[in-house]
Amino acid sequence: MNQWSMKRFWQSAAIEETGEEFAIRLDGRPVRTPAKRVLAVPTRTIAEKIAAEWEAQDKTVDPRTMPWTRSANAALDKVAPQRKAVEDYIAAYAETDLLCYRAEGPASLIARQEAAWDPILDWMSQRYGVRLSVTRGVMPVEQDPDATGRLAKAMAPLTDFQLTAFHDLVTLPGSFVLGLAAIEEAAPPLDLWGASHVDEDWQIGEWGDDEEAAEAAAFRQKAYLHASDFYRAAS
């Protein structure tokens, strides 16, 4: 039975330490991922979060309330079996990084982008010794393959669980550089998320908020902050 459509059958969720991993048990039985792998995670912190999610389920399992379980499933079922493909997918974001595409106007938006993005690019340059090309408008700018390659190497030491979080920290804001800044704590997570929404915030200031867009943004921010927490817990 698919765990996402099952009804609650267990009395309690618990953690069992198995060597260097922590497995989740429901009344002593192992929880399995959608691909039928045993749900075992690298740190007790993650295991405790997952166990709490299963313990909190009522009559039917609701995956929308289980972000820690979903992330662990992704690490085991999606990242681990095809790690190189995942790294290549994430690395491509450095070639079209959000921070490298600036507005042609008005002056107030240009100033906001510079204030939010230039310090992060300066940090990246100092940290990794590379500089990405910045352009104005939407026409593509070609990045130096050596620069993007050096940035991509930052993923090599990450565990599969860390890389799972890094994927979201890059793809949700649309910036490899912001992802690096997040995992290296170059700035608080909320500040980095705010940096990725400079354009949207400027538009809201000019034209007012849109309820549907605001709900979507809040959902993505929640997912981003979870990814930040998941990375810390996996480290």
47 and 22 Cβ atoms separated by less than 8 Å = yes
145 and 196 housed in the same domain = yes
150 and 227 housed in the same domain = yes
Taking only the tens place, the pLDDT of each residue in 13-67 is 999 998 899 999 999 999 999 999 999 999 999 999 999 999 999 888 888 999 9
Q: What is the mean pLDDT of the chain?
A: 94
56 and 90 housed in the same domain = no
* Structural domain includes residue 155: yes
* Structural domain includes residue 72: no
The whole-number pLDDT of residue 129 equals 96
* Structural domain includes residue 97: yes
Taking only the tens place, the pLDDT of each residue in 170-181 is 999 999 999 999
Spell out a b/e string for 52-80, using b for 16 or more CB atoms within 10 Å of the CB, else e.
Answer: ebbeebeeebeeeebbbbbbbbbbbebbb
206 and 118 housed in the same domain = yes
* Structural domain includes residue 140: yes
50 and 135 housed in the same domain = no
Give the length of the chain.
Answer: 235
The whole-number pLDDT of residue 213 equals 84
User: In this prediction, what percent of the chain has a pLDDT beyond 90?
Assistant: 85
119 and 46 housed in the same domain = no
What value does the mean pLDDT take over residues 100-114?
96
What pTM was computed for the model?
0.94
Of the candidates 64, 62, 3, 59, the one whose C-alpha atom is nearest the C-alpha of residue 29 is 3
* Structural domain includes residue 76: no
Count of the separate structural domains present in the chain: 2
The CATH number of the domain holding residue 29 is 3.30.2180.10
* Structural domain includes residue 195: yes
35 and 128 housed in the same domain = no
> At 21, phi and psi to the nearest 5?
-120, 170
Give 129's contacts (C-beta < 8 A, 6+ positions apart): 150
- Of the spans 57-66, 165-174, 202-211, 214-223, which averages the highest pLDDT? 165-174
- For residue 60, what is the DSSP state? B
149 and 178 housed in the same domain = yes
- Is the pLDDT at 2 greater than 60, yes or no? no
* Structural domain includes residue 70: no
Give 56's contacts (C-beta < 8 A, 6+ positions apart): 65
57 and 119 housed in the same domain = no
The CATH number of the domain holding residue 208 is 1.10.3580.10
37 and 114 housed in the same domain = no
123 and 211 housed in the same domain = yes
Identify the residue whose tokens are 């400079």. 198
* Structural domain includes residue 186: yes
- Is the pLDDT at 102 greater than 70, yes or no? yes
213 and 109 housed in the same domain = yes
Domain enclosing residue 56, as ranges: 1-65
